Amino acid sequence: MQLDRLGDFQRSHRNGGLRLADAGQSVRLLGWARKVRDLGSLIFIDLRDRWGIVQLRLDVADADPALLAKVRAVRSEFVLGAEGVVVEREAKNPNMDTGDVEVRLTALRILNTALTPPIPVEDIEGQVANEDLRLKYRFLDLRRESVQKNLRMRSEAAQIIREHFHKHEFIEFETPILTKSTPEGARDYLVPSRVHAGEFFALPQSPQLFKQLLQVSGFERYYQICRCFRDEDLRADRQPEFTQVDIEMSFVREQDVQGVIEPLMVELAKLAGKEVSAPFPRLAHADAMEWYGSDKPDVRIATKILDVTSAFAQSGFNLFRAAAESGGSRRVRALFIPGEAAGGLSRKQLDELGEVAKHLGAGGLPYVKWGKDGLSSSFKKFVEGDAEPALKAALGAGGEGLAVFAVGTDAQTSKVLGELRLRLGRQFGLVDESRFAFLWIVDFPLLEWSEEHARFVACHHPFTAPHPDDIALLESDPGRCRAVAYDLVLNGYEVGGGSIRIHDAETQSRMFRTLGIGEQEAREKFGFLLDALAFGAPPMGGLALGLDRLVMLLAGETSIREVIAFPKTAQARCLMTDAPSPVDPRQLKELHLLEERAQTYRVGAVFFESAEGGNPGLRAEAVQHLSQMTPHQTSGLVTLDESGRILDAQTLHGPTFEF
């Protein structure tokens, strides 16, 4: 098809902005044909641009033949320039912003054609293509209004963030993408150096050390909206590359950092139409684990985990009594969900919950249920009679409801009940969806024991300051040392985390020692940091927000892929560009990743005494040709690479063949 040129065609109006007040106006519009409806005497085209959709109309009877032919050629997703006059519609469409008007076409330019889209490019209830297909044709998927809305919101959020930090005199920086691999943290993405054989850059997991160094340099307030890279196993809210809003400040306490973030959150929440007020509640990590079994509790569910160990101190139920006698190393903890619905849970539903508990590491799911028919329980004979009122008191159970129990170490019971709390909360409609529930989790432990590495590892990162009251524990009882670290939690998601930093070289060295990083390794890996801390580093602290997760929550989505323009799959692939992909062995060689293990083979000549073939002349010629070759001429060197590809071939006295 002969395409029209954009030429001097200028858009006069935005499609989505046309209203009754524009009736009578001549307009020039641009966009994509969302839908074409040819009714015989009338042809309608819905023209979509970034701002919305308007209906174009052509009355066939009195249309100019050239225009009619053009309009008839239009298919979905063709790119058009339309000229016409806005008129009031006879049949208004209350479901469209522009539903009061339509544009009577007077001229049309077809700026481009389009193949039939392999996925829907508009939001139709129940017609979302499968995600792999959506990601393969992401450029089309991104035409859908819901995705466009998310990405516009992301842009607005970024704008609000920039304005906020600018207003508070933060300086925006760009820190290196090619940086140094350091131990600790997640797995690095590595970039081999071509210039320095055998050496690697790492992509930054975060700009942590650079932002600290900028404090040493005296900038006092740093921020950056930056990309971070972590080679981790992925989940719905993780990507190999993700975006942080990263800040760092000098001469601050944790409240100062939190105090800068809270008003920003208040502003951002407005994007989702939510009113929140600062300051946000603070909850000690230990309490979060105790009450919610999670360090990122969704406090929109009021139900808390209860310690009911002592209610079983005299119980005949051995499993629970043994925990009561364990001196605190094992406890019986429970969740009580009040109400008729919970009390009326069926056997099958309870079995399903039991499976979930097993999946989370529990042996099963002991329960007690008060329903229409009174008490039922998986350990009924131990809770009947005298034991019942005491148990009810321990659970705070007045009427009907369901109690589920977990027994074991705190880590085990938190895992099971933390997850069941969320499930049951959702199942019984206990989540107050109207709220945006921000809170700070504070007083994190500094270190945790890693079975895998048989040593302590940093809970946050190795540059986090120990709590001033706990410094001596660094050597004597590292596991009990608290950190000056804080996470920002929203609706059960960690949306940010930060800490006050170690700002003197000696404490930093002590921390490295506690982490099992020896003097020499510390110098090799972190020499620049130790040097910087020794040259007058100010007290400092900061935080990083996960922008993808934050926008996901603002947009009411449950996957960060919905708020990232070109995300990767859960298998860490870009289905659109098909990355990662194999590269040419030559590139690998340049990067010193493929050893030049090319081998040289000596080849000799092969003589044929006779040759098969239908043409006696040619056969004779071939035999003669071969027989004329002396062994010298036919000896040669052939160089093959590992995969058997011929790189180079030479006869000893003859020409070189190029491959």
Binders of ligand ASP among residues 96 to 125 (CB under 6 A) are none
The least distance separating ligand ASP from the CB of residue 395, rounded to whole angstroms, comes to: 38
Closest CA to 295 of 456, 415, 426: 415
Nearest in space to 113 (alpha carbons), one of 65, 67, 80: 80
Q: Which is nearer to ligand ASP, 515 or 544 (CB)?
A: 544
| Cα(559)–Cα(550) distance, integer angstroms | 11
Among 234, 232, 183, 185, residue whose Cα is nearest residue 206: 185
Q: Which is nearer to ligand ASP, 47 or 544 (CB)?
A: 544
Residue type, 46: D
| Whole-number Å distance between alpha carbons of 240 and 228 | 8
How far apart are alpha carbons 400 and 372 in whole angstroms? 8
Please report how close the Cβ of residue 126 comes to ligand ASP at its closest, in angstroms. 39
Binding segment for ligand ASP (CB under 6 A), chosen from 401-409, 516-524, 538-546, 589-597, is 538-546
Asked if 425 interacts with ligand ASP (CB under 6 A), we say no
Quick one: tokens of 498?
Answer: 């930060």
Closest CA to 567 of 152, 245, 237, 157: 237
Q: Does 498 bind ligand ASP (CB under 6 A)?
A: yes
* Shorter beta-carbon distance to ligand ASP: residue 253 or 435: 253
Q: What is the DSSP string of 586-599?
A: HHHHHTT-S----E
Q: Which of 31, 497, 567, 636 binds ligand ASP (CB under 6 A)?
A: 497
Note whether 545 binds ligand ASP by CB under 6 A: no
Contact 654, 633 (CB under 8 A): yes
506: nearest Cα among 542, 469, 471: 471
Question: Alpha-carbon distance 505 to 334, whole Å?
Answer: 46
Residue 578 backbone phi and psi in degrees, to 5: 60, 45
Q: How far is the CB of 208 from ligand ASP (least distance, A)?
A: 4
Judged by CB, which is closer to ligand ASP: 205, or 413?
205
Distance CA(31)–CA(77), nearest Å, equals 9
Residue 618's SS3 state is helix
Cβ atoms < 10 Å from Cβ of 420: 23
What burial class does residue 33 get, using C-beta atoms within 10 Å of its C-beta: 0-12 exposed, 13-18 middle, 19+ buried? buried
Q: At its nearest, how many Å lie between ligand ASP and the CB of residue 369?
A: 42
Does position 499 bind ligand ASP by CB under 6 A?
A: yes
Mark the segment that binds ligand ASP (CB under 6 A) among 68-76, 309-317, 471-479, 541-549: 541-549
With binding defined as CB under 6 A, does residue 240 bind ligand ASP? Answer: no
What does DSSP say about strands 42-49 and 52-59: parallel, antiparallel, or unpaired?
Answer: antiparallel
Closest distance to ligand ASP from the beta carbon of 544 (Å): 4
Q: Dihedral (C-alpha) 321, 322, 326, 332: value to the nearest 10 degrees?
A: -60
Binding residues for ligand ASP, rule CB under 6 A, total: 8
**Selected binder of ligand ASP within 306, 342, 532, 544 (CB under 6 A):** 544
Residue 458 as a binder of ligand ASP (CB under 6 A): the answer is no
The one among 543, 547, 553, 575 contacting ligand ASP by CB under 6 A? 543
357 closest CA partner among 402, 424, 420, 422: 420
Query: Residue 456 pairs with which residues in a beta bridge?
Result: 449
Binding positions for ligand ASP, 355-384, rule CB under 6 A: none
Query: Which span (111-119, 305-313, 320-328, 494-502) binds ligand ASP, by CB under 6 A?
Result: 494-502
Stretch that binds ligand ASP, among 176-184, 216-224, 493-501, 559-567 (CB under 6 A): 493-501
Within positions 204 to 223, which residues make up the interface with ligand ASP, using CB under 6 A? 206, 208
Least distance CB 422 / ligand ASP (angstroms): 23
Distance CA 423, CA 415 (A): 13
Q: Residues 287-316 vs ligand ASP: string with x where CB under 6 A?
A: ------------------------------
Q: What is the DSSP letter of 565?
A: S
Residue nearest to ligand ASP (CB): 206
Q: Which is nearer to ligand ASP, 492 or 497 (CB)?
A: 497
Pairing of strands 374-377, 221-229: unpaired
Specify the residue, 206 or 243, whose C-beta has the smaller distance to ligand ASP.
Answer: 206
Looking at the DSSP bridge assignments, the partners of residue 31 are 80
Least distance in angstroms from the C-beta of 207 to ligand ASP: 7
Rounded-to-integer distance, Cα 554 and Cα 276, Å: 13
Q: Is 450 helix (H, G, I), strand (E, B) or coil?
A: strand
Closest to ligand ASP by CB, 383 or 458: 458
DSSP class of residue 487 equals E
Whichever of 257 and 391 has its CB closer to ligand ASP, that residue is 257
Binding status of residue 542 toward ligand ASP by CB under 6 A? yes
Nearer CB in complex with ligand ASP: 206/250? 206
For ligand ASP, give the closer residue by CB, 206 or 413.
206
Least distance CB 497 / ligand ASP (angstroms): 5
Closest separation in Å from C-beta 524 to ligand ASP: 21
Does residue 529 contact residue 484 with C-beta atoms inside 8 Å? no
CB 76 within 8 A of CB 34: yes
CA dihedral 370, 375, 376, 378 (to 10 degrees): 90
Minimal distance in Å, beta carbon 245 to ligand ASP? 10
Tell me the closest approach of the beta carbon of residue 150 to ligand ASP, in angstroms: 24
- Which region, judged by CB under 6 A, interacts with ligand ASP, from 304-312, 536-544, 581-589, 608-616? 536-544
Chain residues 318-337 in contact with ligand ASP, contact rule CB under 6 A: none
| Residue closer to ligand ASP (CB basis): 418 or 498 | 498
Using CB under 6 A, list all residues that contact ligand ASP. 206, 208, 497-499, 542-544
